A and B are shown apart, each in its own frame.
Chain A
């Protein structure tokens, strides 16, 4: 008999396979000029998926820029993820009925989301909500003041916060060893007086266990946990990067031996939860779903230029009316010219 846990693992595998396919297609879209610079999540599928599965609808998610899997599980449609990376802020307007309705948008300025996550956690605590905040960041982000400042206040205020580090060993070209002399990133929790946990970031089961516990601890008012998920960035930093300039092919090759998607597939197959037929069917489903998302994305109507002013203030200030009119007039010419 299948347990709930088995169902969750199979659902996790399906998401990971879907996101892997999505990621490949997104890179292709960028290469053919139909998407902007894109941050691949190749190798981070287990981390993003575990985060999405561990969060509830009442929780809050504070992403950085590699969390496509989590946002997808929170109910952000794939075409909207593409819309964001296609250079359109409307991609950050997550659907109002989704779990992501209150989540923060993708965050580009490194680590700045972490102090904000502490603020969200303070708000949840003040309002006595039974909810946790999960914020993510990379290994490089742990060098920034925002990271320390967020952990510090979260520790002293016992905030319902989990900070999840995707330690993919690289911050663009700078290896983990040049970020810190700390033996582990989880050790950085010591200075904040909170627990720090290391977990295999390529192992969905282990991630689920650690994140379930940490989030439940947060919801129960027992405070903040720092989780370091150890993984490897199998892609270039973004589509604008060429990792072969600074990374040995042999290191990348070794990292592939431990990649999360195949690893989970093998484990599920061993326990009879997955097989070749299911795999073929699911890959076809992934192709259809991603194809549809790309189609929707490519056919979205362009945003009017006046969007750049219309969402700036609650109501357009009188002082900006002239600029809006000028922009609208130019936009008309562009559209009809």
Chain B
């Protein structure tokens, strides 16, 4: 379990987008093998402005506007990474990452293994994911479980500016391929203090955002926001929820989750993705296996429904909200 360090002498207020941008700047300044590639990331600074100013600062050779082709972007990144560059590729929206799946699954994730360590693939693929911003069709998906299922990949989903900053630095330094999914709904939500001292955060641990003895709320990415809201509401009713941000979905820090639930006896897993085959199932299975005798209620899941992310008229019905989380928490308490 990593301690949260959001305050300190060097803390600077940033929103999540700025935190990503500052991490990219620092990584590029410190290591000239770090290069960026993607659609509209140069002059336009990315459609969300995550790469704003980077082309001006580092030049078009290190900040590459690619032709419009995701499979190309992933293939280029695999090739670059195999020969010592540190490509940080942007897929404009997670909904457009699927053409790149073959490169990610069959190559990036397997290169080290297939060559018995002769080659490796230290790339980062960043993509904004998730709903809640009234976006067009295919711009709001949360399909992290697809990637978490691929051995050899790391899947990271920050939920705050400081974790976005520290985890992205870690992802770029990491010798393994990392899928870095950014919660676009939180991009500009608020500015929070970030210690921008260049220290990466660990990629192998959950973050306990709030301690409590009555139950454990487990979530990641954008849904952390509603999960913390639910914890507040429960606290107002005298119920103390522990809140764990999983942050790194693969490899998964099972120890922190098992230790917490072994203590509280109750768990609610919250994710935006569909329920069936989602990461909640993996975590629930882990808890059933390693904390069974401590459980005082069945593990609950509050998730998206088992349908594609609906176009935005219905997205608020789809996304887990505070009420659904609180209701699930109470089901575990009265069981």
Contacts and interface: CB of A to CB of B under 8 A. Distances in A.
A83 to B, nearest CB: 9
B51 to A, nearest CB: 11
Interface in A294-334: 302-303, 305, 307-309, 312, 319-320, 323, 327, 330-331, 334
The B interface, classified by DSSP as helix, strand, loop or mixed, is loop
B314 A305 contact: yes
B319 to A, nearest CB: 12
A241 B136 CA distance: 13
B313 A303 contact: yes
A174 B55 CA distance: 14
Interface residues of A, number: 44
Contact of A172 (B39, B72, B95): B39
A173 B44 contact: yes
B68 A179 contact: yes
A303 B40 contact: no
A207 B71 CA distance: 33
Contact of B72 (A143, A174, A303, A309): A143
Interface in B83-135: 95-96, 98-99, 134-135
A305 B44 contact: no
Interface stretch (B194-202, B212-220, B283-291, B302-310): B302-310
Interface stretch (A19-27, A85-93, A197-205, A222-230): A85-93
Q: Which of B65, B72, B318 has the most CB of A within 10 A?
A: B65
Q: Which of A141, A174, A240 has the most CB of B within 10 A?
A: A174
Given A173-B43, A246-B43, A108 B137 contact: yes
A245 B306 contact: no
A109 interface: yes
Contacts of A174: 39-40, 65, 67-68
Contact of A312 (B72, B139, B307): B307
A303 B314 contact: yes
A29 interface: no
B108 to A, nearest CB: 18
A249 to B, nearest CB: 15
B69 interface: yes
B305 A327 contact: yes
Q: Which of A37, A108, A173 has the most CB of B within 10 A?
A: A173
A308 B318 CA distance: 9
Nearest to B68: A140
B312 interface: yes
B67 A180 contact: yes
B310 A145 contact: no
A201 to B, nearest CB: 19
Contacts of A36: 134-136, 312
B2 to A, nearest CB: 35
Q: Which of B42, B275, B311 has the most CB of A within 10 A?
A: B311
Given A108-B138, A172-B44, A307 B67 contact: no
B296 to A, nearest CB: 23
A96 interface: no
Contact of B68 (A88, A108, A143): A143
A209 interface: no
Nearest to B95: A109
A147 B260 CA distance: 51
Nearest to A145: B71
Nearest to B98: A109
A153 interface: no
A89 B311 contact: yes
A109 B314 contact: no
Contacts of A89: 137, 310-311
Contacts of A245: 43-45
14 contacts: A37-B134, A106-B137, A143-B67, A143-B72, A145-B69, A172-B47, A173-B42, A173-B43, A173-B44, A307-B314, A308-B305, A308-B317, A308-B318, A334-B317
Given A171-B68, A180-B67, 7 more contacts: A106-B137, A143-B72, A144-B71, A173-B43, A173-B65, A240-B47, A330-B324
